[in-house]
Structure 1
Amino acid sequence: MDFTLEWKLMISMFIVVSGTWESKAASTTLDEASMAMKHELWMAKYARIYVDNAEKERRFKIFKENVEFIEKFNTEANHTYKLGLNEFSDLTDEEFIMFHTGYKPTSSFKNSSFHIDWRNEEAVTPVKFQGELKPP
């Protein structure tokens, strides 16, 4: 019988989790185990491999916070769309902005209220009348 990677991960996580149920409160462990399983499945789906356990724990914490945010957002009734997990689910907002938007903060502009009114610098021309707007 040929098991997929996801099923193998689910079975191995069940074995690990079932051993911890005896030592912790059932509801807390179940929530943590469920989140750990979700993270393992997510890692398999997006082929995410961490360099060591410390990095994996740090990324799991971020992943868990993002999942909690997604679940809270999706339970609110006033949204016309839903959020979900994707390949960026183990990144903080700052990491996503830094790695995937091209934004590179510099020390001279970081946390400043730098502003130039280009009209005063004669970099733009005055507003020009472009004719009347006629109805269609």
Structure 2
Amino acid sequence: MASKVQLVFLFMFLCVMWASPSAASRDEPSDPMMKRFEEWMAEYGRVYKDNDEKMRRFQIFKNNVKHIETFNSRNGNSYTLGINQFTDMTKSEFVAQYTGVSLPLNIEREPVVSFDDVNISAVPQSIDWRDYGAVNEVKNQNPCGSCWSFVQLRR
């Protein structure tokens, strides 16, 4: 028969095993946002050099998703934001990598054309020129910095 010490030890061991997560659940992210991030990583083929970089990118991803969801929940927006392949990047990282633009901060220019005398009351709030076949979809040209210029006009 087991001694009291052995029974107490066995009881403590079983309590610890019951309270600790199983090996299967340790592999699964418990944070719903981490699960979302890992699904996003799989969708966009994102792999990070180490766990520190992954956690840094996860924080950026969370901040960007929060911004996207907050923006989209407001009424009166003329557009919506979405999660895409850039969601793990900060705004400054995106600008540096994909725009190639470095503008002087204090530029003062005279307007080239004045629209002061133009009646715009009959102009629609917005026009999606893709609906009219005037331009094609925007194409991702990767980090060349000029993807905005690859929309082809159709005549």
Question: Could you tell me which of 13, 16, 23 is aligned with 2:26?
Answer: 16
State how far apart, in whole Å, the 2-side matches of 1:64 and 1:19 are.
15
Query: Which residue of structure 1 aligns with residue 89 of structure 2?
Result: 91
Report if the CA contact (8 A) 2:29-2:35 is conserved: no
Count residues in correspondence: 88
Query: Which residue of structure 1 aligns with residue 44 of structure 2?
Result: 46
State how far apart, in whole Å, the 2-side matches of 1:63 and 1:90 are.
5
TM-score, length basis structure 2: 0.49
**Structure 1, unpaired ranges of 5+:** 1-13, 21-32, 119-126, 128-136
Code of the aligned partner of 2:25: I
State how far apart, in whole Å, the 2-side matches of 1:73 and 1:86 are.
15
Query: Which residue of structure 1 aligns with residue 67 of structure 2?
Result: 69
**Cα RMSD (Å) of the superposition?**
2.8
Residue 117 of structure 1, CA deviation: 6.9
Identity %: 41
Residue 17 of structure 1, CA deviation: 7.8
TM-score, length basis structure 1: 0.56
State how far apart, in whole Å, the 2-side matches of 1:99 and 1:86 are.
16
Greater radius of gyration (CA): 2
**Alignment map for 1:120-131 (pairs within 5 Å):** none
State how far apart, in whole Å, the 2-side matches of 1:19 and 1:98 are.
32
**Structure 2, unpaired ranges of 5+:** 1-23, 113-155
